[in-house]
Amino acid sequence: MSEPSLPSQHILFVAPFGLGQKTTVWARTLPLARELVRRGHRAHILIPPWDTPADAGRTWQEEGVTLENVSLRGGIPGTVLRMITRIDALAPDIVHIVKPRAHAGLVQWRLWHRRRRPPLVLDLDDWEQAWAAVNDYGPVTARFLARQEEWGIRHADAITAASRWLEARAQENAPETPVTYLPNGVTLPPRPPALRADPQPPAVLFFSRFVEVEPEWTAKFWRAVAEMEPAAHLIVAGQPVQPGLDERLMLVMGEYAGTEGVAWLGFVEPDQLAALYDRTTVAVFPAAPVPLQQAKCSVRLATILLNGVPVVASAVGEQAQYGASGAARLVDAQATPEEFARVTVNFLEDRAARSHAIAQAYAHLSQNYQWHDLADRLEACYAGLLES
């Protein structure tokens, strides 16, 4: 960790939701806040827990970071007003808005229109407009969220972006605003991982939210793998972002490739992940080259690599960054399912290449994605903002 680049500050993060299944706050905001506390800053996360209503009114600390869940009384207007009141009472040096949407976006709008206010930093870790079709938003809701997102980008004093794609979008929409590339970090294991013993039969793990590629793409991919490596099994894990998406994939898989040798696990509890990785020869991360996939910064690929599981991934968005320098076997973004399958089978058959990739992954991720190094960038962002 480098020397602090600015004196102690009080940083207040404004979250858009609670600590439920949506991962941004606990997987991104909280680790960054912890690093700020380790550097002598005060960090406070203000949360509208509409997705975790049992937390409403609760406040606690984690490694020096204060997490405060406001009451939900009065619906969205009452909750936003309560958040503004708390910000006034806390009087932070910097307010960092986590996503320009919903409650957090409304707080940003209210603060921006004040004559006297703390500097506003906006964090982008997804392109919300790309989720409109997935979440089946009506036209009014979709237009509101799109305008809120674009307005938020144009009305911030600085921006942090979790992906290169988001960095570029922010620079396009707000060319005069300083933008800091700030991907999601990793927590390193106590020692470098080693390649596990090869399971029998060989198994391909597809950890999915069922929106990365079309079901037909996945079915054609697996049909090609099964033709080249008949002994291989497919393990499909993960919870769909919308009910029924997994069932659609099951149906299409049955039509194209059959379901023999395919295991459907659904949501996997954290304490079951190690056993799942022991069953896995190679994990695959196909992704279509579309904004939904180019914008996001899912750390699951990096986490799986650090658990000693080799990865084949589409070179789309941040997957190309996490998998760089030989950390993963990257496949061209425009590759067909059959081409992706060929790379996967070649990797399945080459244990030496998989072992080398795991070593490369640890070196690459430890050099570029540790939270304390990313906090250097965040401090530099804050310092530049305060100096200006």
Of the CA atoms within 13 Å of residue 104, those in its CB half-sphere come to: 30
More confident residue, 23 or 369: 369
Is 191 part of a structural domain of the chain? Answer: no
Angle among Cα 334, 338, 342 to the nearest 5 degrees reads 105
Q: Are residues 47 and 168 in the same domain?
A: yes
pLDDT at 4 over 60: no
Band the pLDDT of 317: cuts 50, 70, 90. very high
Q: Are residues 374 and 321 in the same domain?
A: no
* Predicted confidence (pLDDT) per residue in 150-204, tens digit: 999 999 999 999 999 999 999 999 999 999 999 999 999 999 999 999 999 999 9
Is 70 part of a structural domain of the chain? Answer: yes
pLDDT at 111 over 70: yes
List, in sequence order, every beta strand (DSSP E) within the chain: 10-14, 42-47, 59-62, 65-69, 94-98, 120-124, 158-161, 179-181, 203-207, 233-237, 262-266, 282-285, 311-314, 329-331
Is 190 part of a structural domain of the chain? Answer: no
- So what's the pLDDT on residue 45? 98
- So what's the pLDDT on residue 159? 99
Return the closest-CA partner of residue 4 out of 385, 379, 384: 379
Q: Are residues 173 and 283 in the same domain?
A: no
pTM (predicted TM-score): 0.94
Q: Are residues 230 and 254 in the same domain?
A: yes
Residue 20 amino acid letter: G
Q: Please, what is the average pLDDT of the chain?
A: 95
- Whether the CB-CB separation of 153 and 170 falls below 8 Å is answered with yes
What is the distance of C-alpha 91 from the center of its chain? 30
Band the pLDDT of 31: cuts 50, 70, 90. very high
Q: Are residues 22 and 97 in the same domain?
A: yes
The average pLDDT across 106-132 equals 94
- Whether the CB-CB separation of 174 and 159 falls below 8 Å is answered with yes
- So what's the pLDDT on residue 5? 63
* Predicted confidence (pLDDT) per residue in 36-95, tens digit: 999 999 999 999 999 999 999 999 999 999 999 999 999 999 999 999 999 999 999 999
Q: Are residues 16 and 118 in the same domain?
A: yes
The kind and range of the H/E element at 78 are helix 75-90
C-alpha–C-alpha distance, residues 253 and 262, integer Å? 9
pLDDT at 275 over 80: yes
Q: Are residues 57 and 98 in the same domain?
A: yes
C-alpha–C-alpha distance, residues 223 and 197, integer Å? 26
Is 248 part of a structural domain of the chain? Answer: yes
Q: Are residues 38 and 102 in the same domain?
A: yes
Q: Is the peptide bond before 201 cis (omega within 30 degrees of 0)?
A: yes
- Whether the CB-CB separation of 319 and 288 falls below 8 Å is answered with no
C-alpha–C-alpha distance, residues 224 and 220, integer Å? 6
- So what's the pLDDT on residue 23? 84
Q: Are residues 109 and 135 in the same domain?
A: yes
- So what's the pLDDT on residue 103? 94
Is 2 part of a structural domain of the chain? Answer: no
- Whether the CB-CB separation of 56 and 21 falls below 8 Å is answered with no
More confident residue, 22 or 326: 326
pLDDT at 345 over 70: yes
Q: What is the CATH number of the domain that holds 325?
A: 3.40.50.2000
Q: Are residues 70 and 171 in the same domain?
A: yes
pLDDT at 388 over 80: no
* Predicted confidence (pLDDT) per residue in 132-150, tens digit: 888 888 999 889 888 999 9
Token duo for residue 69: 């869940």
Q: Are residues 143 and 275 in the same domain?
A: no
Return the closest-CA partner of residue 64 out of 94, 34, 30: 34
Band the pLDDT of 362: cuts 50, 70, 90. very high
More confident residue, 375 or 260: 375
Is 118 part of a structural domain of the chain? Answer: yes
Return the closest-CA partner of residue 284 out of 353, 237, 226: 237
- Whether the CB-CB separation of 102 and 16 falls below 8 Å is answered with yes
Beta bridge partners, 124, equal 161
- So what's the pLDDT on residue 6? 82
Is 272 part of a structural domain of the chain? Answer: yes
* Predicted confidence (pLDDT) per residue in 229-242, tens digit: 999 999 999 999 99
* Predicted confidence (pLDDT) per residue in 244-257, tens digit: 999 999 999 999 87
Q: Are residues 284 and 212 in the same domain?
A: yes
C-alpha–C-alpha distance, residues 117 and 329, integer Å? 48
* Predicted confidence (pLDDT) per residue in 21-30, tens digit: 778 999 999 9
Is 280 part of a structural domain of the chain? Answer: yes
How many domains does the structure of the chain reveal? 2
Q: Which domain holds residue 323?
A: 203-368
